[in-house]
Protein backbone atom coordinates (compact mmCIF):
# COMPACT_ATOMS: atom_id res chain seq x y z
CA UNK A 1 0.00 0.00 0.00
CA UNK A 2 1.34 3.40 -0.94
CA UNK A 3 1.90 6.07 1.68
CA UNK A 4 2.63 8.77 -0.87
CA UNK A 5 0.71 12.04 -0.66
CA UNK A 6 -0.73 12.23 -4.13
CA UNK A 7 -3.13 10.61 -6.51
CA UNK A 8 -3.36 8.53 -9.66
CA UNK A 9 -4.96 9.70 -12.88
CA UNK A 10 -6.10 7.07 -15.33
CA UNK A 11 -7.31 8.56 -18.60
CA UNK A 12 -10.17 6.76 -20.29
CA UNK A 13 -11.04 4.67 -17.27
CA UNK A 14 -14.81 4.28 -17.47
CA UNK A 15 -14.39 0.77 -18.90
CA UNK A 16 -11.95 -1.83 -20.16
CA UNK A 17 -8.25 -1.65 -19.33
CA UNK A 18 -8.63 1.83 -17.82
CA UNK A 19 -11.37 0.75 -15.43
CA UNK A 20 -9.44 -2.35 -14.36
CA UNK A 21 -6.37 -0.17 -13.82
CA UNK A 22 -8.27 2.36 -11.73
CA UNK A 23 -9.51 -0.47 -9.51
CA UNK A 24 -6.03 -2.02 -9.24
CA UNK A 25 -4.38 1.29 -8.27
CA UNK A 26 -7.11 2.06 -5.73
CA UNK A 27 -6.41 -1.31 -4.11
CA UNK A 28 -2.80 -0.13 -3.75
CA UNK A 29 -4.06 2.84 -1.75
CA UNK A 30 -4.01 5.53 -4.43
CA UNK A 31 -6.87 8.02 -4.59
CA UNK A 32 -7.84 7.66 -8.25
CA UNK A 33 -9.16 10.18 -10.76
CA UNK A 34 -11.40 8.18 -13.07
CA UNK A 35 -11.44 10.09 -16.33
CA UNK A 36 -14.13 9.69 -18.98
CA UNK A 37 -15.16 11.56 -22.10
CA UNK A 38 -18.78 10.48 -22.59
CA UNK A 39 -19.44 7.37 -20.48
CA UNK A 40 -20.38 9.06 -17.22
CA UNK A 41 -22.36 6.04 -16.00
CA UNK A 42 -19.37 3.79 -16.56
CA UNK A 43 -17.05 6.12 -14.68
CA UNK A 44 -19.47 6.47 -11.79
CA UNK A 45 -19.74 2.69 -11.67
CA UNK A 46 -15.94 2.40 -11.36
CA UNK A 47 -15.92 5.03 -8.61
CA UNK A 48 -18.73 3.22 -6.77
CA UNK A 49 -16.84 -0.06 -6.94
CA UNK A 50 -13.65 1.55 -5.62
CA UNK A 51 -15.55 3.18 -2.77
CA UNK A 52 -17.35 -0.07 -1.95
CA UNK A 53 -13.90 -1.63 -1.46
CA UNK A 54 -12.87 1.20 0.90
CA UNK A 55 -10.89 3.17 -1.66
CA UNK A 56 -11.14 6.75 -2.81
CA UNK A 57 -11.95 7.92 -6.34
CA UNK A 58 -13.42 10.78 -8.30
CA UNK A 59 -15.08 10.67 -11.71
CA UNK A 60 -13.75 13.50 -13.85
CA UNK A 61 -14.98 14.37 -17.33
CA UNK A 62 -12.61 15.60 -20.00
CA UNK A 63 -11.57 14.96 -23.58
CA UNK A 64 -7.83 14.23 -23.51
CA UNK A 65 -7.53 15.52 -27.07
CA UNK A 66 -8.55 18.98 -25.83
CA UNK A 67 -5.49 20.64 -24.29
CA UNK A 68 -7.48 22.81 -21.89
CA UNK A 69 -9.64 19.96 -20.65
CA UNK A 70 -6.61 17.73 -20.23
CA UNK A 71 -4.83 20.39 -18.16
CA UNK A 72 -7.75 20.44 -15.74
CA UNK A 73 -7.48 16.68 -15.21
CA UNK A 74 -3.90 17.15 -14.03
CA UNK A 75 -4.31 20.11 -11.71
CA UNK A 76 -3.23 19.42 -8.13
CA UNK A 77 -6.35 19.04 -6.01
CA UNK A 78 -7.56 17.89 -2.61
CA UNK A 79 -6.19 14.48 -3.51
CA UNK A 80 -2.74 16.04 -3.98
CA UNK A 81 -0.52 16.15 -7.04
CA UNK A 82 -0.75 13.49 -9.73
CA UNK A 83 2.07 11.08 -8.87
CA UNK A 84 0.83 8.20 -10.99
CA UNK A 85 -0.27 8.93 -14.53
CA UNK A 86 -1.68 6.21 -16.74
CA UNK A 87 -2.13 7.44 -20.30
CA UNK A 88 -4.73 4.93 -21.34
CA UNK A 89 -7.36 6.79 -23.36
CA UNK A 90 -7.18 5.44 -26.87
CA UNK A 91 -8.97 5.46 -30.16
CA UNK A 92 -9.09 3.36 -33.33
CA UNK A 93 -10.35 4.69 -36.65
CA UNK A 94 -9.30 1.96 -39.07
CA UNK A 95 -8.89 2.06 -42.83
CA UNK A 96 -6.40 0.94 -45.42
CA UNK A 97 -3.77 3.60 -45.98
CA UNK A 98 -4.85 4.59 -49.54
CA UNK A 99 -8.28 5.42 -48.18
CA UNK A 100 -7.38 6.81 -44.79
CA UNK A 101 -8.80 10.33 -44.38
CA UNK A 102 -6.77 13.15 -42.85
CA UNK A 103 -9.35 13.38 -40.05
CA UNK A 104 -8.97 9.67 -39.24
CA UNK A 105 -5.23 10.12 -39.09
CA UNK A 106 -5.22 13.28 -37.04
CA UNK A 107 -7.86 12.28 -34.51
CA UNK A 108 -6.04 9.04 -33.68
CA UNK A 109 -2.71 10.86 -33.35
CA UNK A 110 -4.33 13.55 -31.19
CA UNK A 111 -5.90 11.11 -28.74
CA UNK A 112 -3.26 8.38 -28.63
CA UNK A 113 -0.02 10.33 -28.97
CA UNK A 114 -0.40 14.08 -28.51
CA UNK A 115 -2.53 13.71 -25.39
CA UNK A 116 0.07 11.34 -23.96
CA UNK A 117 2.74 13.98 -24.52
CA UNK A 118 0.69 16.82 -23.05
CA UNK A 119 -0.40 14.87 -19.98
CA UNK A 120 3.16 13.72 -19.37
CA UNK A 121 4.53 17.26 -19.69
CA UNK A 122 1.98 18.56 -17.21
CA UNK A 123 2.43 15.72 -14.72
CA UNK A 124 6.22 15.92 -14.79
CA UNK A 125 6.31 19.36 -13.18
CA UNK A 126 4.54 17.87 -10.14
CA UNK A 127 6.54 14.64 -10.16
CA UNK A 128 9.93 16.34 -10.45
CA UNK A 129 9.17 18.50 -7.42
CA UNK A 130 8.04 15.40 -5.51
CA UNK A 131 11.11 13.43 -6.60
CA UNK A 132 8.72 10.59 -7.34
CA UNK A 133 6.46 9.72 -10.18
CA UNK A 134 5.17 6.86 -12.24
CA UNK A 135 4.04 7.31 -15.81
CA UNK A 136 2.65 4.31 -17.62
CA UNK A 137 1.65 4.68 -21.25
CA UNK A 138 -0.68 2.17 -22.79
CA UNK A 139 0.80 1.31 -26.18
CA UNK A 140 0.01 -1.78 -28.22
CA UNK A 141 1.65 -4.67 -29.97
CA UNK A 142 0.41 -2.88 -33.09
CA UNK A 143 3.15 -0.42 -33.86
CA UNK A 144 6.12 -2.66 -33.26
CA UNK A 145 4.07 -5.19 -35.32
CA UNK A 146 2.06 -4.48 -38.43
CA UNK A 147 -1.70 -4.80 -38.62
CA UNK A 148 -3.28 -3.97 -41.96
CA UNK A 149 -5.84 -1.21 -41.74
CA UNK A 150 -4.28 0.43 -38.72
CA UNK A 151 -1.53 2.67 -40.09
CA UNK A 152 -2.72 5.62 -38.01
CA UNK A 153 -3.09 3.53 -34.87
CA UNK A 154 0.30 1.83 -35.42
CA UNK A 155 2.03 5.16 -35.97
CA UNK A 156 0.51 6.56 -32.79
CA UNK A 157 1.44 3.57 -30.66
CA UNK A 158 4.96 3.25 -32.07
CA UNK A 159 5.27 6.96 -31.30
CA UNK A 160 4.15 6.33 -27.73
CA UNK A 161 6.90 3.73 -27.28
CA UNK A 162 9.60 6.06 -28.62
CA UNK A 163 8.27 8.89 -26.50
CA UNK A 164 8.25 6.66 -23.42
CA UNK A 165 11.90 5.68 -23.82
CA UNK A 166 13.06 9.25 -24.37
CA UNK A 167 11.22 10.83 -21.45
CA UNK A 168 12.35 7.97 -19.19
CA UNK A 169 15.98 8.82 -19.90
CA UNK A 170 15.39 12.54 -19.35
CA UNK A 171 13.90 12.20 -15.85
CA UNK A 172 15.32 8.95 -14.47
CA UNK A 173 17.63 10.72 -12.02
CA UNK A 174 14.66 12.31 -10.25
CA UNK A 175 12.93 9.11 -9.13
CA UNK A 176 10.40 9.34 -11.92
CA UNK A 177 9.91 6.25 -14.06
CA UNK A 178 8.25 6.16 -17.46
CA UNK A 179 7.21 2.87 -18.99
CA UNK A 180 4.74 1.45 -21.46
CA UNK A 181 2.62 -1.64 -21.63
CA UNK A 182 1.84 -3.16 -24.99
CA UNK A 183 -1.33 -5.21 -24.83
CA UNK A 184 -2.11 -7.79 -27.48
CA UNK A 185 -5.66 -8.93 -28.04
CA UNK A 186 -7.58 -7.96 -24.93
CA UNK A 187 -11.30 -8.31 -24.44
CA UNK A 188 -12.43 -4.68 -24.51
CA UNK A 189 -14.87 -2.49 -26.41
CA UNK A 190 -11.99 -1.39 -28.63
CA UNK A 191 -11.40 -4.93 -29.84
CA UNK A 192 -14.87 -6.51 -29.76
CA UNK A 193 -15.28 -6.27 -33.56
CA UNK A 194 -12.13 -8.24 -34.28
CA UNK A 195 -12.30 -10.91 -31.61
CA UNK A 196 -13.91 -14.29 -32.10
CA UNK A 197 -12.73 -14.90 -35.66
CA UNK A 198 -10.58 -17.92 -34.83
CA UNK A 199 -8.19 -15.34 -33.46
CA UNK A 200 -7.32 -17.47 -30.46
CA UNK A 201 -5.56 -19.98 -32.69
CA UNK A 202 -2.91 -17.41 -33.56
CA UNK A 203 -2.14 -16.66 -29.91
CA UNK A 204 0.26 -19.06 -28.17
CA UNK A 205 -1.82 -18.83 -24.96
CA UNK A 206 -4.88 -19.82 -27.07
CA UNK A 207 -7.03 -17.12 -25.57
CA UNK A 208 -7.44 -13.37 -25.52
CA UNK A 209 -6.35 -11.46 -22.45
CA UNK A 210 -8.47 -9.72 -19.87
CA UNK A 211 -8.28 -6.06 -18.86
CA UNK A 212 -7.32 -7.22 -15.37
CA UNK A 213 -4.22 -8.95 -16.73
CA UNK A 214 -3.04 -5.70 -18.28
CA UNK A 215 -3.98 -3.74 -15.16
CA UNK A 216 -1.84 -6.07 -13.04
CA UNK A 217 1.21 -5.13 -15.11
CA UNK A 218 0.40 -1.43 -14.85
CA UNK A 219 -0.05 -1.80 -11.10
CA UNK A 220 3.44 -3.30 -10.88
CA UNK A 221 5.00 -0.53 -12.96
CA UNK A 222 3.29 2.03 -10.69
CA UNK A 223 4.60 0.39 -7.53
CA UNK A 224 7.66 1.08 -5.41
CA UNK A 225 8.86 -2.39 -6.42
CA UNK A 226 9.35 -1.13 -9.98
CA UNK A 227 11.64 1.74 -8.94
CA UNK A 228 14.50 0.53 -11.17
CA UNK A 229 12.33 -0.22 -14.20
CA UNK A 230 12.17 2.67 -16.63
CA UNK A 231 12.08 3.19 -20.38
CA UNK A 232 10.78 -0.27 -21.04
CA UNK A 233 7.72 -1.67 -22.76
CA UNK A 234 6.06 -4.60 -21.10
CA UNK A 235 4.28 -6.74 -23.65
CA UNK A 236 1.08 -8.39 -22.46
CA UNK A 237 -0.06 -10.57 -25.33
CA UNK A 238 -0.13 -14.23 -24.39
CA UNK A 239 3.06 -14.82 -26.34
CA UNK A 240 1.86 -13.39 -29.65
CA UNK A 241 4.99 -11.27 -30.16
CA UNK A 242 7.44 -13.87 -28.92
Q: Is 200 helix (H, G, I), strand (E, B) or coil?
A: helix
Q: Does position 166 bind other proteins by CB under 8 A? A: no
The three-state DSSP-derived secondary structure of 10-55 is ECCCCCHHHHHHHHHHHHCCCCEEEEECCCHHHHHHHHHHHHHCCC
| Cα–Cα distance, 171 to 131 (Å, whole number) | 10
| Residue 40 within binding range of other proteins, rule CB under 8 A | no
170 contributes a contact to other proteins by CB under 8 A: yes
Is 153 among the catalytic positions?
A: yes
Q: Does the protein bind other proteins through residue 129 (CB under 8 A)?
A: yes
Q: 191 to each of 94, 181, 188, how far by Cα in Å?
A: 12, 17, 5
Smaller CB distance to other proteins: residue 50 or 167? 167
CB of 7 to other proteins, least distance (A): 20
Please identify, using beta-carbon distances, which residue of 5 and 129 lies nearer to other proteins: 129
Among 173, 201, 228, 242, binds other proteins (CB under 8 A): 173
Nearer to other proteins, 76 or 204 (CB): 76
Q: Which of 132, 153, 163, 185 is catalytic?
A: 153
Contact between 43 and other proteins by CB under 8 A: the answer reads: no
- Which of 48, 53, 125, 189 is the binder for other proteins (CB under 8 A)? 125
Torsional sign, CA 160, 165, 171, 176: positive
Going from the C-alpha of 189 to that of each of 14, 110, 166, 186, 214, the distances in angstroms are 11, 20, 30, 9, 15
CA angle centred on 46, ends 44 and 51, rounded to 5°: 90
Alpha-carbon distance of 80 to 77, in angstroms, equals: 5
**One of 171, 181, 182, 226 touching other proteins (CB under 8 A):** 171
Residue placing its CB nearer to other proteins in the complex, 121 or 207: 121
Q: Does 174 bind other proteins (CB under 8 A)?
A: yes
**Count of residues of this chain found to bind other proteins when the rule CB under 8 A is applied:** 7
**Where do contacts with other proteins occur on this chain (CB under 8 A)?**
125, 128-129, 170-171, 173-174
Amino acid sequence: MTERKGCALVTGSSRGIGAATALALAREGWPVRVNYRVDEDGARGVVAQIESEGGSATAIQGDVADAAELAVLLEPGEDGPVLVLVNNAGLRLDGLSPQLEDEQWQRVIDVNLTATFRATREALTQMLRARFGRIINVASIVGPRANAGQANYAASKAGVIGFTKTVAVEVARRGVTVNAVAPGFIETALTEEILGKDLEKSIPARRVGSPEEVAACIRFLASEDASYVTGTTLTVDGGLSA
